[in-house]
Amino acid sequence: MNLQLFTGLPLQDLPFAASGEADQVLGGVWLGGSPPLRPPVWPVQAIATPVLGTGSAGMQEIWRCNEACTEGRFEGIAWRRAGNLLYGVIDLDEAAFSAVLPGSPLQAASQEAYRRIFRLLEAQGLPHLWRVWNYLAGINQEVDGLERYRQFNIGRQDAFLEYARGATGNVPAACAIGLASGPLSIAFMAGREPAVPVENPRQVSAYNYPSEYGPRSPTFSRAALVYPPAQEVLFISGTASIVGHQTVHPDDVPGQCRESMANIAAVVGEANRLCRSPEFTLDELSYRVYIRHAADFAVVRETLTDMLGSAAEIIYVQADICRHDLLLEIEAMASHTLGSC
């Protein structure tokens, strides 16, 4: 199997769309305004927030492999599977959980979403969660005395513990990003083989954050190395201007951008210590950059161009970050071929 990520191409221009190979698409994401009137047949996570610097109303990312996928729906999850690799998307309306106690509707929705994901993975015999993309409305808003991101962390970690997953160490790479509105939306990739978690020597592991960041620590690793057949894929989680466990360079957009990249460089260094393929490099990564204020886009793009060059593959998206004092967050991935796996 050869897992590939296609980014930013109109659907009709994808190299397989006209050749009847849509069954080889594992899934994808739509970034921007309203999704296409005729949505694809594969699972799609719709992220309704502006894409910056393209002049386009939206763009997409597509995960494609070179074998036909099976597909299905399971407790509200749309999923596709190719061999021992699965991609799924679940959207939950928090209002449906308003009567669930204890905790907030978001906490209950988060816990239930992860319960369903774990049940699907058990049913499919693919127990290992590799990468998760979490999006929720109003991530920094305080409701009933607790920030919504912290409510989400309670629900997520409770589900991990309920299904005997553990909340430290071998946990997936992930991001949690805020949107202006919309459901709790979670996309995920999972496989039969466990991921190799990667941490950042410059940072406290997120799952070991002190209690000042909420009743439950975030349940994710800084990155993960995963192994589809004959490949090594590096997923780097959402990465921000945090050293140790504290935000640095408050109100300084270029400073936060450079610090985020310093953290990504540190994670890549750790991944290279563990990887089975030739070393990963910063200039080969595909990046998605979340920017809190659209007015900061030009500064962020200039800073990253100076650091990575103009040929770097970067998508810029306006979105809120998990801490109110963080102005941007960067995630990334890259794939290498292995001789055998």
42, amino acid identity: W
**Residue 329 annotated in active site:** yes
> Exposed, middle or buried, 328 (CB in 10 Å: 0-12/13-18/19+)?
buried
164, amino acid identity: A
Catalytic residue, candidates 259, 270, 329, 331: 329
7 contacts 61 by C-beta, under 8 angstroms: yes
| Strands of the 313-318 sheet, one edge to the other | 51-52, 313-318, 286-291, 328-337, 231-239, 223-226, 196-198
Nearest CA among 91, 5, 70 for reference residue 285: 5
Please state the φ and ψ torsions of residue 200, each to the nearest 5 degrees.
Answer: -115, 120
Which residue in the block uniquely carries the two structure tokens 């299904």? 163
102 preceded by cis ω (within 30°)?
A: yes
86 contacts 70 by C-beta, under 8 angstroms: no
Query: 221-242 b/e with 16+ CB inside 10 Å = b?
Result: bbbbbbbbbebbbbbbbbbbbb
CA angle 90, 93, 98 (to 5 degrees): 135
What the block records as the tokens of 214 is 């909420």
Please state the φ and ψ torsions of residue 13, each to the nearest 5 degrees.
Answer: -95, -5
Q: Where are the alpha helices (DSSP H) in the chain?
A: 105-124, 148-162, 253-274, 297-308
Distance CA 121, CA 166 (A): 16
H or E element at residue 303: helix 297-308
Distance CA 336, CA 339 (A): 10
Give SS3 for 278: coil
Q: Indicate which residues carry an active-site annotation.
A: 329
